[in-house]
Amino acid sequence: MDTNISVVDLFCGAGGLTHGFEQAGLPVMVGYDIDPACKFPYEHNNKSKFILKDIGHMDKSDLYKSFSNHSVNVLVGCAPCQPFSNYARRYSDKESKWKLLQDFIRLVREGKPEIISMENVLQLKNHPVFIEFVQALEKLSYSITCNEVNCLDYGIPQSRKRLVLLASRLGSIELIPPTHKKDQYQTVYKAIGHLMPLSAGQRCENDKLHQCSKLSELNLRRIRASKPGGTWRDWSEDLIANCHTKKSGQTYPAVYGRMEWDKPSPTITTQCFGFGNGRFGHPEQDRAISLREAALLQTFPVKYKFTKPNQDIIFCSIGRLIGNAVPVRLGQVIAQSITSHVDNFV
């Protein structure tokens, strides 16, 4: 493509969205995030520059420095989605949950990029802050599409549904059509079945990210009693956690579950390395999935590095980077949609 496109990634994290753009031949100029742990994986695995900065402290001068001259400017990002999830409804509405989206639209007003993309949880679409976001884009003469994306339809081996907004000042913009039919959906086995077997707490010598958390003796007994696709309801009474015997805990059957080889994984979260945090048990090995397996299910390449060579692996830190990431393949789909759109209008 002859047109020079400049891309800036807000809330870039460890680089899932940016890496997908690179795979699609659409390099990102710079990524912004407030988490210093993102700098190494973002810059080591991508050709982009990482800037540690709060979006609330950014203005149009930051965008002008990042965008190149005489180009189609693209602003993309995934504002941290915890405020919009069911899990986070316990937080007080008095907290400034919506400021990230408000700052996003402020930068759009100031920088006036030709194209915008935002990815987030489905729950956001019915919230007033998102409706206001869309209305603001309409007033700025953007053509907008909002897509409820089933990641399985695009070759991601994960039951993950996301909201993808595309907006353009050039003309009508659409997400590319699904690339996979139901009989072509990717599975857990295709994503991680080739990796070396591990015991709970073990680490692969050739890949330090391929390590899994330790399990207590009780949780070892629980996972040995678990079958792929089953629930804790299959266990004997002495293994069931006290919280699940209460009425409030009976509606959470997926915790302490095993994945199934021939099906997609559940949504990968920041706590995906813990057996008790969801259906994150390995399909046949008596352990939770490893950090590398979680990254592969997020469609990061197997050689994607999240830490420096001599740096220790901290499960909660790396789990946060992996679980918060936009799946690389979804980033690739968004980038392909943008390049196709630009080809039609420029």
Looking at the annotation, which residues are catalytic? 81
Quick one: how many helices (H) and strands (E) in the chain? 11, 9
Cα distances (Å, whole numbers) of residue 323 to 15, 90, 141, 273? 12, 20, 34, 10
Task: Please state, in angstroms and rounded to a whole number, the distance separating the CA atoms of residues 311 and 307.
Answer: 6
CA 105-53-30 angle, 5° bins: 80
What residues are paired with 8 via a beta bridge? 30, 75
Task: Please state, in angstroms and rounded to a whole number, the distance separating the CA atoms of residues 76 and 308.
Answer: 27
Strands in 161-168's sheet, in edge-to-edge order, are 49-52, 30-33, 5-10, 72-77, 115-121, 161-168, 143-150
CA 73-75-79 angle, 5° bins: 175
Task: Please state, in angstroms and rounded to a whole number, the distance separating the CA atoms of residues 75 and 111.
Answer: 9
3-state DSSP call for residue 190? Answer: helix
The DSSP annotation for 86-113 comes to GGGGGS-TTS-TTHHHHHHHHHHHHH--
Q: Which two tokens stand for residue 308?
A: 């420096």
- β-pairing, 143-150 vs 161-168, is antiparallel
Burial state string for 210-221 with b = 16 or more CB within 10 A and e = fewer than 16: bbbbebeeebbb
3-state DSSP call for residue 311? Answer: coil
Q: Which two tokens stand for residue 311?
A: 């740096």
Strands (E), 284-327: none
